[in-house]
Structure 1
């Protein structure tokens, strides 16, 4: 699942160099090492390609990054979030918890760098918000601080210690980092489109792409949480307005 946490990692990676190549794992690789996917591989390929900091996408990228792979694409180094974890190695249909690091080879070669993880967002957390049907994630304002975590939802989905609260506090600086910092020029044909853009997906991307093709400058309006909830009800929006803003700003067509 592609979310603004991934976009922020991609943004940081692009700042480390001149040309950014992003490898995206296949559904089979993800099921093997992590579990079921939320978006299928074609959707994820398209979502990553639409991120404005990405120069090239490598489909079906292997889970283990090697020096050979970096050399194949003339890459100087690879980047991962500083939350990198150990994984299980599958051998002869047996799972061995040997703590193997899938970036061990490139680390030893001195061709590995890390970027800061975006605190408070993960695929597990977003799925948890949908399943728990809470509303607290969009009742917070920009001065509010979350009090509970859903990071253990995957292991204990019924735990009373989990909630759908977002841990991410949007700041003006983060908005600026995601923005194009561009103003429409005199004579530009300005196109306006609005929506909730909740759980930003390939349907949203296609809409923004087609809208941008109609003019020179695309302006996107994002409905606030109260409006979305009044229209859709339940625990919608799944992502609060600040999170949805970052998702839209990361799209290359905006």
Structure 2
């Protein structure tokens, strides 16, 4: 009986050794072992070397459109490396940025789909920088949106990457831009009456055209016809930005609320600190009417849904209550208890 067991064990070891040898031999030639499909073989190989993708940008006045671009870029590969263009490069190609370099770095690092960040990236992909990306940072592809990125001389900023066959394109998020946000800021003073409209400057008319509406019962609107965004998210977009996970059974849940208008580096820092106080960070974003009543009729610049998506994209945030009340009521506490025991409140 022992002899049979020993023979079986030795025979099995020989078979396994032969199989491993065959596997390694085929692997060296880049072909899948017999019986293993090419699709599965590629997944196995992918685990050995993650697909690394690079995306750069100015990320000035960072908004949910930037975050959505980074989300799409991250979906192309396994690791997303983001280059933040330097102040000097932005000035040379577009004019001075509103947000300085160190704040733009904080904002990009806080986006939950970003794995690494490169500071002082060039505005255009040059031969030398592309070689550095491939050799030093082990990039596989360079990514940009489908909107044109043209240099002052009229050439394509990504022409080198496209020529090398290492360029991939994602869809630009419509309805939002840094220029649009600056326009809203310039128009934050409410229009006093319809009769004053003829006194508006051409710049005011440019940014306010087609973007005024009466204040409704919903979360997005204006009380006196001020320029507001008509952006309305779909359930799919909210799901794309959400973590999709609740707190653990014994999690310490931290709650913090606010307007989070024009989401900036200061917001990121307070959310980071709040997250460190517990295991699950729940953030409440106030609706537009509440903010207007509490902070003045010229606020908010961004509507409820835009502000909520910016908060959801932050890596320190686990869940968002969209349209949270200014004061925490008993009903709200009961709602939060549906998640788990509420341990901390911040106002």
Say whether 1:182 aligns with 2:237: no
Distance 2:272 2:190 in 1: 31
C-alpha deviation, 1:235, in angstroms = 2.1
Once the two structures are superposed, the pairs formed by residues 115-126 of structure 1 within 5 Å of their partners are 115-126=170-181
Render the CA deviation track for 1:174-198: whole Å, top value 9, x for unaligned: 1100000010110000000000000
Distance 1:185 1:224 in 2: 29
Match of 1:40 among 79, 82, 100: 100
C-alpha deviation, 1:135, in angstroms = 6.6
Count of aligned pairs between the two proteins: 226
Say whether 1:26 aligns with 2:86: yes
Does the Cα contact within 8 Å between 2:228 and 2:302 map onto a contact in 1?
A: no
Q: What secondary structure sits across from 2:139 in the alignment?
A: coil
Does the Cα contact within 8 Å between 2:186 and 2:204 map onto a contact in 1?
A: no
Q: Please list every run of 5 or more consecutive structure 1 residues that lacks an aligned counterpart in the other structure.
A: 90-98, 137-155
Say whether 1:217 aligns with 2:272: no
Does the Cα contact within 8 Å between 1:119 and 1:168 map onto a contact in 2?
A: no
Q: Which residue of 1 aligns with 2:19?
A: none
Say whether 1:103 aligns with 2:183: no
C-alpha deviation, 1:120, in angstroms = 0.7
Say whether 1:80 aligns with 2:144: yes
Q: What secondary structure sits across from 1:59 in the alignment?
A: strand
Larger RCO, structures 1/2 (Cα 8 Å, 6+ apart): 1
Match of 1:157 among 203, 223, 226: 203
Q: Please list every run of 5 or more consecutive structure 2 residues that lacks an aligned counterpart in the other structure.
A: 1-60, 192-201, 212-226, 318-347
Render the CA deviation track for 1:29-85: whole Å, top value 9, x for unaligned: 111111121110000001000000000000000111133132131111111111123
Say whether 1:70 aligns with 2:130: no
Does the Cα contact within 8 Å between 1:70 and 1:77 map onto a contact in 2?
A: no
Q: Which residue of 2 aligns with 1:246?
A: 309
Distance 1:114 1:235 in 2: 38
C-alpha deviation, 1:200, in angstroms = 0.3
Q: What secondary structure sits across from 1:23 in the alignment?
A: strand
Q: Which residue of 2 aligns with 1:142?
A: none
Q: What secondary structure sits across from 2:121 in the alignment?
A: coil
Q: Which residue of 1 aligns with 2:292?
A: 229
Q: What secondary structure sits across from 1:239 in the alignment?
A: coil
CA RMSD of aligned residues (A): 1.6
Q: What secondary structure sits across from 1:183 in the alignment?
A: coil
Q: Which residue of 1 aligns with 2:167?
A: 112
C-alpha deviation, 1:133, in angstroms = 2.3
More helix as a share of residues: 2
Moved more, 10-19 or 25-34: 25-34
Moved more, 28-37 or 206-215: 28-37
Distance 2:118 2:87 in 1: 14
Distance 1:73 1:235 in 2: 45
Q: What secondary structure sits across from 2:246 in the alignment?
A: coil
Q: Which residue of 2 aligns with 1:208?
A: 271
Does the Cα contact within 8 Å between 1:26 and 1:60 map onto a contact in 2?
A: yes
Does the Cα contact within 8 Å between 2:86 and 2:121 map onto a contact in 1?
A: yes
Larger Rg: 2
